[in-house]
């Protein structure tokens, strides 16, 4: 190898070395610059507020305005510092809410999914019973549908709901349903149907007595007089029922004090 060739090779190696060093330094500087930029951006975004609120779910009674009011005391000015458990607890305290889940979505959104209570009956005039037999208190005036009234001793909510379902399951075969259920302190049962007829079931053989009523009721209606309306059917008999009749409004007051009863054998 000549001297000129050797010098040329040395220069190439020299430039290759410094090019590699320069490239390495550039990469390092780029990484550091990007890290600084990303860190600054993250720090800046840590102070970004939640500006979007997404509310979904099965909401028949809870309004979005109710949720917004519940969150008035929650600081939503910092995305990272918002406590979703605190938000969930606040919304859970709304009267109609049965369950709620909350999560944050980057960079500025709070997602809320809630399910409202499903009221099955009004309990003792002031409370409501849901489909699981749980008692809760909410604004009854908000009810969209007519639901039955239950009355009973404290702690008997589940017993009332279970029996209501069993009774209604039988009654629907005659296109009847319950508008009021009363359970006494001695666990004696009375039902008022949607057509206004009161059924006295007593304490025992409730299902059997409902079935007996269903057998005899068509005959009672068939044989009633034109101006007669059934007031109650007492089913606390082994082999029959007692029927009380409402008297016509035109009947003299003295006769209104009378209740006509018929024992009907089945």
Sorted by where each begins, the domain ranges of the chain are 1-45, 52-116, 119-265
Q: Report the DSSP beta bridge partners of residue 265.
A: 240
Contact predicate 147/120, CB 8 Å? yes
The pTM is what?
0.75
Contact predicate 99/130, CB 8 Å? no
Among 102, 158, 168, residue whose Cα is nearest residue 129:
158
pLDDT, residue 14, reads 57
Do 52-116 and 119-265 fold alike per CATH?
no
> Which ranges of the chain have pLDDT less than 50?
7, 38, 43-44, 251-266
Buried b (16+ CB within 10 A) or exposed e, 44-73: eeeeeebeeeebeeebebbeeebbeebbee
At 60, give phi and psi (nearest 5°): -95, -25
Pick the CATH number of 119-265 from 3.40.50.2300, 3.40.1010.10, 3.40.50.11690, 3.30.70.520: 3.40.50.11690
pLDDT in tens, 52-61: 999 999 999 9
pLDDT in tens, 181-234: 999 999 999 999 999 999 999 999 999 999 999 999 999 988 888 778 899 999
Sheet with 97-105: strands ordered across:
52-58, 109-116, 97-105
pLDDT, residue 240, reads 85
**Average pLDDT of the chain, as a whole number:** 83
Pick the CATH number of 52-116 from 3.40.50.1970, 3.40.50.150, 3.40.50.720, 3.10.20.310: 3.10.20.310
Count CA atoms within 13 Å of residue 266 on its CB side: 20
Q: Tokens at residue 147, please? A: 């639901």
pLDDT in tens, 69-83: 999 999 988 888 899
């Amino acid at each position: 190898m000549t001297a000129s060739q050797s010098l040329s090779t040395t220069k190439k190696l020299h430039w290759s070395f410094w090019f590699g060093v320069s490239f390495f330094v550039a990469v390092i500087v780029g990484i550091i610059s990007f890290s600084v930029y990303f860190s600054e951006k993250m720090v800046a975004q840590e102070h970004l507020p939640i500006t979007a609120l997404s509310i979904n779910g099965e909401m028949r009674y809870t309004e979005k305005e109710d949720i917004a009011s519940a969150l008035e005391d929650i600081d939503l000015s910092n995305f990272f510092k918002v406590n979703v458990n605190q938000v969930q607890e606040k919304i859970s305290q709304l009267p109609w809410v049965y369950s709620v889940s909350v999560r944050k979505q980057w960079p500025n959104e709070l997602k809320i999914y809630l399910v409202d209570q499903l009221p099955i009956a009004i309990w003792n005039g002031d409370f409501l019973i849901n489909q699981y037999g749980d008692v809760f208190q909410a604004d009854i005036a908000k009810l969209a549908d007519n639901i039955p009234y239950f009355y009973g001793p404290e702690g008997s909510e589940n017993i009332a709901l279970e029996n209501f379902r069993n009774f209604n399951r039988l009654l629907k075969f005659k296109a009847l349903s319950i508008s009021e259920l009363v359970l006494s302190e001695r666990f004696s049962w009375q039902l008022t149907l949607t057509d206004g007829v009161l059924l006295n079931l007593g304490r025992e053989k409730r299902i059997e007595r409902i079935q007996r009523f269903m057998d005899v009721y068509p005959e009672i209606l068939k044989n009633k007089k034109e101006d007669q309306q059934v007031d109650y059917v007492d089913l606390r008999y082994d082999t029959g029922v007692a029927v009380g009749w409402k008297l016509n409004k035109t009947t003299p007051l003295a006769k209104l004090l009378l209740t006509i009863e018929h024992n009907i054998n089945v």
